[in-house]
Amino acid sequence: MFDAIAPRYDLVNRVMTFRMDVGWRKRTVAALALPGGSTVLDLACGTGDLCRELERGGYRPIGADLSFGMLAAARTDSPLVQADALGLPVPDERIAGVTCGFALRNFVDLGGFLDELARVVRPGGRIALLEVAEPESRALRRGHAFYFGKVVPRIGGMLSDRDAYRYLPQSVAYLPEPGALIGLVRDAGFADAERRLLSGGIAQLLVGTRDG
Ligand SMILES: C[S@@+](CC[C@H](N)C(=O)[O-])C[C@H]1O[C@@H](n2cnc3c(N)ncnc32)[C@H](O)[C@@H]1O
């Protein structure tokens, strides 16, 4: 699916989030709060937006994604590798930080993904995982469901692949409830993990430090 939408992924992303994703990515990189020059693995990097933001933040990003199509369409100077985020070709405790944007709901085994983060991130290292979310207020939730259920697939259909953009909003349902989600991150080995809500709760940032 991601191979199919890769050429226009950036454009549709920007349009459907009204460019709010730009600010969310900045918040994600700022939340790492690691020393300049640290190596940061951006998992499920897609076309490399977070890699570019990490470069601007003074980090040394390495992007990894399962889809060759997304990697081929990437616009970043960072090294890129085709890899499954659930089985990374990285030694234990080698990485200072990990980012991941809008991909948690795509992983077939979220627990396995978090265990993999705990394996590759060194003690004291940081993770910042950006994802869409459902707002808590009922009114906002209705508007959100209409926008992502009806409007986004139309925009996606006009600019790219309608079926893919119908699937993407639906896939939010694959995420565990917020309390369970942050519990999974803490249990994996990031005991101080916290969930930050962005833009009224339509996006969320999970931030944590690898236990020492
Ligand atoms: C919605 S896109 C997000 C791309 C990018 N992170 C961003 O912020 O725009 C989801 C990405 O997850 C990738 N992906 C899905 N499952 C994966 C896996 N198991 N390992 C690595 N990448 C995966 C897809 O190929 C796709 O590029």
Tell me, what amino acid is at 113? F
**The domain containing residue 92 runs over which residues?**
2-209
DSSP-assigned beta bridge partners for residue 62: 41
Specify the pLDDT at position 136.
Answer: 83
Predicted confidence (pLDDT) at residue 164 exceeds the cutoff of 70? no
- Is the pLDDT at 169 greater than 70, yes or no? no
Q: How many domains does the chain have?
A: 1
Report pLDDT for 59. Answer: 98
pLDDT reported for residue 145: 80
pLDDT band for 209, please (50, 70, 90 cuts).
Answer: very high
Residue of the CA atom closest to atom 4 of ligand 1:
46
d(CA 210, CA 108): 23
Taking residue 54's Cβ as centre, other Cβ atoms within 10 Å add up to: 29
SS3 52: helix
pLDDT classification of 2: cutoffs 50, 70, 90? confident
Whole-prediction pTM value?
0.91
Atom number in ligand 1 closest to CA 3: 25
Residue whose C-alpha is closest to residue 131's, from 113, 154, 155, 157: 113
Report pLDDT for 90: 97
Which amino acid appears at position 70 of this protein? M
Percent share of the chain, pLDDT over 70: 87
Nearest CA to ligand 1 atom 15: 106
Length of the chain: 212
Give the C-alpha separation, 67 to 206, whole Å: 24
What is the per-residue pLDDT across 3-56, written as a single tens digit (0 to 9) for each? 776 766 676 676 667 678 889 999 999 999 999 999 999 999 999 999 999 999
Residues with CB under 6 A from ligand 1: 2, 13, 44-46, 49-50, 65-67, 70, 84-86, 101-103, 106-107
Q: Exposed, middle or buried, 89 (CB in 10 Å: 0-12/13-18/19+)?
A: exposed
Q: Ligand 1: which of 1, 67, 78, 117 to mutate, judged by most atoms within 8 Å of the beta carbon? A: 67
What is the structure's pLDDT at 147? 79
Span from the CA of 101 to the centroid of ligand 1 (angstroms): 8
User: What percentage of residues in the chain have a pLDDT greater than 90?
Assistant: 66
Q: What CATH code is carried by the domain that includes residue 168?
A: 3.40.50.150
Cross-strand partners of 61:
40
pLDDT band of 174, cuts 50, 70, 90? confident
Minimum mean pLDDT among 86-95, 136-145, 174-183: which range? 136-145
